[in-house]
Amino acid sequence: MKNIAIILSAGSGQRFNDNLPKQYHKINDRMVVEYVIDEVKKSKLIDDVVFVASNFYLAIFLCEQYGMRFVEGGKTRSISIANGLDYIKEHYPNVEKIIVFDSARPFVKSYLISEYMDLLDEYDGVITTCAITDSLGDYENNNINRDNYYLIQAPEAFKFRVIYEYFDRNSSITSMVQQLPVGSNIYQFFDFPNNMKITYHDDLEIARVLMSSKEDDEE
Ligand code: CTP
Ligand code: MG
């Protein structure tokens, strides 16, 4: 097995603030995370799926239902990622490429997964980037040119040996790519359409509307 997906589904969703973590809430008839699982499973370029989650019945149930490997998550997102990477190191001796998803981003599409995996033939990493369209400020009122910056989102994809060499589970850096050395051979993917993340409760309502209109389009 050469290409492995990690779906990050641990974390308690403090900003969402609900007994049930946000990724297990429903948009129409399916859980947020099921939209991610479906697209990953649809991709012909993914050989196996590692599901990093808190150990409770719903996560275990999903792993059985969708044929994913369960790995226990950690206190921070970086620790959850590192647990997934260690599992891959141990169980997939022939791994070449990995791609890491947030369970809370339900708009991913399998054709994008294929593009990321193909780009890894040429690059060590592929990251999801988003141009800044609002004004950018700092806390001292400096003028900042937003064209010099972009947002980094999930998914992020890497050659396994490269990310495994540099990834530190205790780092305070929140994107994986920034744990690689400056000047690494990285592709910035700006063309991901609508990659919203469920963060607050209101985001779920917005995602429901967007998902319905998208499903209408596809009919
Ligand atoms: N995540 C994880 N392990 C953690 C924290 C987060 O696997 N310890 C995952 C979440 O499941 C989510 C993704 O990382 O799909 C993005 O994180 P975020 O939106 O910050 O989720 P939470 O950390 O759960 O939310 P909050 O920051 O509001 O507490
Ligand atoms: Mg968080």
Query: Cα(206) to centroid of ligand 2, in Å?
Result: 20
Tokens of 86: 């260690």
Partnered with residue 113 across adjacent β-strands are none
163 within 8 A of 180, measured Cβ to Cβ: yes
One DSSP character per residue, 77-127 reads HHHHHHHHHHHHHHH-TT--EEEEEETT-TT--HHHHHHHHHHTTT-SEEE
Given a cut of 80, whether residue 11 has pLDDT beyond it is yes
Q: What atom of ligand 1 comes closest to residue 12's alpha carbon?
A: 24
Q: How far is residue 87's CA from residue 107's CA, in Å, rounded to a whole number?
A: 26
29 within 8 A of 143, measured Cβ to Cβ: no
Q: Quickly state the pLDDT bin for 219 (edges 50, 70, 90).
A: low
Q: Quickly state the pLDDT bin for 213 (edges 50, 70, 90).
A: confident
Query: Cα(1) to centroid of ligand 2, in Å?
Result: 30
Closest protein CA for atom 26 of ligand 1: 13
Q: How far is residue 189's CA from residue 113's CA, in Å, rounded to a whole number?
A: 11
Q: How far is residue 107's CA from residue 214's CA, in Å, rounded to a whole number?
A: 10
Q: Which residues contact 30 (CB under 8 A, 6 or more apart)?
A: 38
Residue of 191, 193, 112, 195 lying closest to 157 (CA atoms): 112
Query: Cα(194) to centroid of ligand 1, in Å?
Result: 19
pTM of the model: 0.97
Query: How many Cβ atoms are within 10 Å of 207's Cβ, its own excluded?
Result: 23
Q: Please state the rounded mean pLDDT for residues 67-75.
A: 98
Query: Which residue of 7, 8, 32, 204 sits with most ligand 1 atoms within 8 Å of its CB, as the best mutation to test the pocket?
Result: 8
Query: Which residue of 34, 75, 81, 102 sits with most ligand 1 atoms within 8 Å of its CB, as the best mutation to test the pocket?
Result: 102
pLDDT: is 214 or 30 the higher one?
A: 30
Closest protein CA for atom 19 of ligand 1: 199
pLDDT tens by residue, 15-33: 999 999 999 999 999 999 9
Q: Which residues contact 55 (CB under 8 A, 6 or more apart)?
A: 70, 72
Chain centre distance of CA 125:
14
Q: Quickly state the pLDDT bin for 103 (edges 50, 70, 90).
A: very high
Q: Which residues line ligand 1 (CB under 6 A)?
A: 8-16, 23, 52, 73-77, 80, 102-104, 197, 199
Residue of 14, 16, 11, 21 lying closest to 52 (CA atoms): 11
CA-CA-CA-CA torsion sign (55, 60, 66, 67):
positive
pLDDT for 218:
61
pLDDT tens by residue, 110-166: 999 999 999 999 999 999 999 999 999 999 999 999 999 999 999 999 999 999 999
Q: How far is residue 108's CA from residue 27's CA, in Å, rounded to a whole number?
A: 14
